[in-house]
Structure 1
Amino acid sequence: MILVYEYAINGSLDKYLSGNTMLVGLPWHLLLKICIGVASTLDYLHNQVAEKHRIIHRDVKSANVLLDENWNAKLSDFGLARIGLANQLNTFVITNPAGTYGYTDPQYERTWFLTKESDVYSFGVVLFEVLCGRLACVSYYHDERRFLHYLARIRYKNGELDKIIDHNIKKHIKTRSLSKSSSIAYQCLHKSREQRPTIS
């Protein structure tokens, strides 16, 4: 058996966030389009895919965001996805924690309760990856810089986020847009799932 996918000519988002190719030449409006595309996909999975069910992706990360010739974002790799009921106020699936460390909702890791807000958490990590021009985990760091979710929360709370925003982004993004984007990303990383925004 084989899987056939549409060819994503521009590869995956993670390749623009690592090494020497850090988003050079990608303007902010294009990066914003990519992030909105991922959010729209998650909104569809969580709220519109079926009348009584929702899909929780469980492995939202930049490596699973594929980019077509028009830089449209395509969320891929549904191997860990789970189906939950959508006709209840709080839908959860009890399952062994899975996903990629650095992107996985810590509340899900602790309780084994998988919710749509777990995907929201992972999306917040991807937003910070785009804003900071780096991956969620950089193994050659042996301090607080290793995991972006931890570093971004600390810097945001201390009013020092400017120190970790990618210099190419800083050159092209308007202050208000940076403030709004980082605020949304920070809310997504809230430790309590009830405090996270809806994906819509």
Structure 2
Amino acid sequence: MLSDLKHPNIVSIVGFCDEQHEKIIVTTYEAKNGSLKEHLSNPNLTWTQRLKICVGLARALSYLHYDQHRGYGVIHLNVNSSTILLNENWEPKLSGFKVSIKQSLNRMDHVVLSEPIGTIGYLDPEIEKSKGVACKSDIYAFGVVLFEILCGRRAYIRNDANRLLAPLVMQHYENETLPDIIHPDLKNQMSGYQISVRSLRIYLETAYSCLKEERSHRPDMLSIVNELEKALEKALRFQPRPENFVRPFLVFCFSLRL
């Protein structure tokens, strides 16, 4: 399967070893800047850079789920900020395929009976109900990553009162208090009105839709790629206003209409 995957945002296989009880998969070294997990709270990682990482990852997952050239789809099942590597240009490279499942393209939305697979904090809540996984299990995990990037914190913090990020952001989103938990350095950009309001709104709506409890209510990766590309385009086109037009952060928050 890995030898079939050829995408700029997926690690490339070099070869493998299977001898003398050694089973090793060798991939290209794509982590010059480590994993995304190490940079969630990086004050130097700008909104535009974060968006580019999200778009690259979304394209990788769309390729896994829908590429027609392979004749089958791939459910990754281990999407998290540790399996997203960052190369020297801060481009994302998805890795961690050890629990991935191949599935016929016309059955990607069907449930594959399985024990819960994945990482705590990213697990699809429908797995227990359906007794299996589906491609939209990846969508849920991807939504968690989107909020990790926005909030600058990990999906699961063992000794924190709010250990799990997903229910925390859902609560804040629905109470219209999400700006309270946005990464402080992104807040500074927002308070200076240095990012597009529309870009952030598209991002928030997309991330929230990925975390819908019912799989049927979550978008597919093709739609997600389209929305995140629009968010990135608007962020790149936005030009900061002159200093005398800078809005206070409170006004900015209201303009999001969460």
TM-score (norm 2): 0.72
1:78 aligns with 2:84: no
Q: Which residue of 2 aligns with 1:174?
A: 196
Q: Which residue of 1 aligns with 2:129?
A: 110
Q: How big is the alpha-carbon RMSD for the aligned residues of Structure 1 and Structure 2? A: 1.5
Matches within 5 A, 1:26-175: 26-48=45-67, 50-88=69-107, 90-142=109-161, 145-172=162-189, 173-175=195-197
In 1, the alpha carbon distance for the partners of 2:61 and 2:208 equals: 18
For residue 74 of structure 1, give the secondary structure of its aligned residue in structure 2: strand
In 2, the alpha carbon distance for the partners of 1:176 and 1:170 equals: 15
Q: Deviations over 1:124-155 (max 9, x none)?
A: 0000000000000112212xx21100100000
Worse-matched range after superposition: 156-165 or 110-119? 110-119
Q: Is the 8 A contact 1:85 1:91 kept in 2?
A: no
Q: Which residue of 1 aligns with 2:230?
A: none
Q: Deviations over 1:28-75 (max 9, x none)?
A: 111101011110000000000645411000010000000111111111
Counterpart amino acid of residue 53 in structure 2: I
Describe the shift of the 1:50–1:93 C-alpha distance in structure 2 as closer, same or farther (beyond 3 A). farther
Q: Which residue of 1 aligns with 2:35?
A: 12
Q: Is the 8 A contact 1:49 1:55 kept in 2?
A: no
Q: What percentage of residue pairs aligned between the two structures are identical? A: 41
Q: Deviations over 1:131-185 (max 9, x none)?
A: 000000112212xx21100100000001000001111112333322222111111
For residue 63 of structure 2, give the secondary structure of its aligned residue in structure 1: helix
Worse-matched range after superposition: 104-113 or 121-130? 104-113
Describe the shift of the 1:149–1:89 C-alpha distance in structure 2 as closer, same or farther (beyond 3 A). closer
Following TM superposition, where does structure 1 have runs of at least 4 consecutive aligned residues deviating by more than 4 angstroms?
Answer: none
For residue 55 of structure 1, give the secondary structure of its aligned residue in structure 2: strand
The alignment covers a number of residue pairs equal to 194
In 2, the alpha carbon distance for the partners of 1:46 and 1:110 equals: 22
Higher Rg of the two aligned structures: 2
Worse-matched range after superposition: 132-141 or 88-97? 88-97
In 2, the alpha carbon distance for the partners of 1:71 and 1:46 equals: 24
In 2, the alpha carbon distance for the partners of 1:99 and 1:93 equals: 14
Unmatched 5+ stretches in structure 1: none
Larger RCO (CA under 8 A, 6+ residues apart): 1
In 2, the alpha carbon distance for the partners of 1:174 and 1:129 equals: 20
Q: Which residue of 2 aligns with 1:197?
A: 219
In 2, the alpha carbon distance for the partners of 1:122 and 1:34 equals: 15
